[in-house]
Amino acid sequence: MEPVTSVLVEPTAAVARPVPHSAANTAPGEGHKPCLHENPPFTPWVFFQARRKLLLAIGAGFAFFAAAAAIANAWLLRRWDVPIQRFVEDNRTGALDMFFLTMSRFGSTLVVLSLGAALILLTWRRCRAVSIAIAVATLARPAIEFVIKAGVGRDRPDFERMVAGNGPSFPSGHVMAAIALWGLLPLVVGLFTRNRILWWISAFTSGFMIVSIAASRVYLGVHWPSDIFAGLLLGTFFLLGIELVLSRAHAIGGCAAARRREVSAPTRAS
C-alpha cells in the first residue's frame, strides 16, 4: 500500500494507507506521476522511522530542558544561556538588526494566523485534508504553547532587549509558530506542482525561515538560547502530530476521494 503523507510520511505501523498509488493519486490527464503532497521526497517520519532511539532522545532532551527551566529560575540553564546571550548582544550590527527584526515579524501571531487562514482557504477545494491539517496546526499551537509556558513559568532575559517580550519565556512561541506555519510550506507547494525541484526549494525555504525566526528571538534579546532549542525539539513532535492529522483526514476522504470521483465520472457518463 502507498503512504498518505503531508510534509511528513507516517510509518506503516502507525496508520493504514488508504490511498493506493493509482488514479486516486493522480489528477486526470496527468498519467501516474505521484502527487507530491501525498508522496513527498523526504519527511521527518521517513527519517525517524529507522531512528526511533533518536526520537526518544529528542523527547528526553525536551523533558530535561523543561524541568531545568522550571527549577530555581533555571539556574542550570543560565550557566550557558547568559554567556551566549551576552555575546550575541555585544556583536549586534545595523545590518543584522534589520534582518532579524524582519525575520521575527514572520513568526508573529498576526502574520501566522493571517497566513494560516489564507492557506486554509487556498487549499480547501484542492484538498480538504490539507486544509484540516493546516487549521489544526494553526489553532493547536497557541494552546500547546500556553499550557507549557504556564507550567514552566520561566522569566525572559532582561539585558538589552530590542523589542518587547511578554509572558513566560519557555519555550519560544515564535519558534512554535514558525514551525506550525512555515513547516507546512512544502505540503502546500506539493498540492500545486509535481516538480520535485520546486518542492525541494520550498523545503529549504521552510528550514531557512524556521531557523532564522528562531535565531531572531535570541538576537533581539527576548528569549534565552535554551528556549529556542527546546522549541525546535518540541516542534519535531508537533509536525509528526500534524502528519497524523493529515493521514486521518486523507483516510476519510480528502482530496483522494475527490480525485476518485473525477476519474470515475467519465465512466459513469458513458
Average pLDDT of the residues in 229-246: 91
Average pLDDT of the residues in 125-130: 87
Would the pLDDT of 229 be above 60? yes
What separation, in Å, do the N-terminal and C-terminal C-alpha atoms of the chain show? 30
The reply to whether 18 falls in a domain is no
Is there a contact between 116 and 131 (Cβ–Cβ < 8 Å)? no
pLDDT at 109: 86
Angle, alpha carbons 139-119-190 (nearest 5°): 115
Asked if the peptide bond before residue 171 counts as cis, ω within 30 degrees of 0, the response is yes
The reply to whether 60 falls in a domain is yes
The reply to whether 17 falls in a domain is no
Angle separating helix axes 185-192 and 196-219, nearest 10 degrees: 160
The reply to whether 40 falls in a domain is no
Boundaries of domain holding 75:
48-263
pLDDT classification of 269: cutoffs 50, 70, 90? very low
pLDDT classification of 125: cutoffs 50, 70, 90? confident
The reply to whether 43 falls in a domain is no
pLDDT at 198: 92
22 Cβ contact partners less than 8 Å away, ≥ 6 residues apart: 32
Output the CA torsion sign for 89, 94, 98, 99.
negative
Instruction: Report the domain count for the chain.
Output: 1
Q: Tens digits of per-residue pLDDT, 4-49?
A: 444 444 343 333 333 333 333 444 344 445 677 777 888 788 888 8
d(CA 17, CA 128): 17
Give me the DSSP letters along 139-175: HHHHHHHHHHHHHH-PPPP-SS-SS---S--SS-HHH
pLDDT above 70 covers a percentage of the chain that reads 81
Average pLDDT of the residues in 69-86: 90
The reply to whether 1 falls in a domain is no
The reply to whether 146 falls in a domain is yes
pLDDT classification of 210: cutoffs 50, 70, 90? very high
pLDDT at 124: 87
CA distances (Å), 186 to each of 40, 153, 183, 199, in order?
8, 34, 7, 6
3-state secondary structure of 5: coil
Q: Tens digits of per-residue pLDDT, 152-198?
A: 988 888 888 888 878 888 998 899 999 989 999 999 998 898 889 99
pLDDT above 90 covers a percentage of the chain that reads 47
Average pLDDT of the chain, as a whole number = 81
CA distances (Å), 240 to each of 27, 161, 162, 248, in order?
27, 33, 34, 13
C-alpha cell at 256: 483522494
pLDDT at 254: 61
Average pLDDT of the residues in 247-251: 83
The reply to whether 5 falls in a domain is no
